[in-house]
Structure 1
Amino acid sequence: MATITLDPNYGYVLLAATSTFFLNTIHGFNTGAARKAAGIAYPAAYAPSSRTDAAAHRFNCAQRAHANYIENQPTMLAALLLAGLRFPLTAAAMGAGWSVSRYLYMKGYSRGDAEGKGRYQGIGFFLFQLGLSVLAGYNGVMMVLGK
């Protein structure tokens, strides 16, 4: 059986992970404000296609930004926690970069630009997520090899 000793710097990994919980709450407030401004009643997840006004479009963009966030958060968190076992400071920095990028993605997308192009200002989150996934896989390979 393997024993895992955590580097004291793993605390930074946990802080980066925790930032994603708060960012999810920020997404909720952002989407709620857009919902209120558009007058979209619960339980509708999106404004109906018959609504073509800017407020409805902004709500749909904010809602989609939040949905994209919760689609990606579990994968990123797992990769962050696994990558941080061997590379705690690198993983924590990448996790923090992911959270900042996701915030920028939310703010840009929620502006309601044509075709949602505002989301591109935070699209770099994919690079952080990919990097964390590669590091997590590397850790697995090294463990199998006994290194």
Structure 2
Amino acid sequence: MAITLTLPDAYGFVLAAATSTFFVNILHMARTGKFRKESKIAYPNCYATHEQAEKDPAAYKFNCAQRAHANFIENQPSALGALFIAGLQFPVAAAILGASWSFGRTLYLYGYTGGSGPKGRTFGAYFAGAADFALKFMAAYTSIIFILDN
């Protein structure tokens, strides 16, 4: 059975919010690259060793940036999926939550790589996490509506 899918007029906002995540990824790449250069951790090493990080604050910051980036790319696919699905039923709300997720992930990055290390990521994690949680519930609700309407 074929399904015709008509996108809401405001779905462009959903696409804009999704696109913002690509630029957050670029921020992560740039910040991680900056700290890699400062710490002199050569490729292909993904992280500074424990000993290097204990002795060199630049190596420790590189590890924080690398972990923040890894966490971002671990979470981006499901956040985008929830955004795209939720946006079918609630385009403006989903777009606002998607943009909030991107903003929260930026706070997460700068908090993690600031002077506080892992503790600095907390506010951004909660901010992005709340947006992500809401998007996932909206996506589930949208999925149920699609199932029941067919």
Name the TM-score class by shorter chain: over 0.9
Match of 1:60 among 59, 63, 75: 63
* Partner of residue 3, structure 2: 2
How many angstroms apart in 1 are the aligned matches of 2:63 and 2:103?
Answer: 22
How many angstroms apart in 2 are the aligned matches of 1:9 and 1:143?
Answer: 19
Cα offset, 1:118, TM superposition = 0.5
* Partner of residue 119, structure 2: 117
Alignment of 1:70 onto 2:87: no
AA at the equivalent of 1:38 = S
* Partner of residue 130, structure 1: 133
AA at the equivalent of 1:32 = G
Alignment of 1:88 onto 2:88: no
Ranges in structure 2 where 5+ consecutive residues have no aligned partner: none
AA at the equivalent of 1:122 = G
Mapping 1:35-46, distance limit 5 Å:
35-46=36-47
Cα offset, 1:59, TM superposition = 0.6
Cα offset, 1:4, TM superposition = 1.6
TM-score, normalisation: structure 2: 0.93
Q: Which moved more, 1:135-144 or 1:99-108?
A: 135-144
Cα offset, 1:2, TM superposition = 2.7
Match of 1:107 among 85, 106, 110: 110
Cα offset, 1:111, TM superposition = 1.5
CA RMSD of aligned residues (A): 1.2
Q: Percent identity?
A: 49
Contact residue 12 and residue 88 of structure 1 kept, 8 A: yes
User: For 2:88, what is the secondary structure of its paired residue?
Assistant: coil
TM-score, normalisation: structure 1: 0.95
How big is each residue's C-alpha offset from its partner over 1:62-112, in whole Å with a ceiling of 9 and x where there is no partner? 000000000000000000000000000000000000000000000000115
Q: How many pairs were matched up?
A: 146
Compare the two structures and name the one with the higher helix fraction: 2
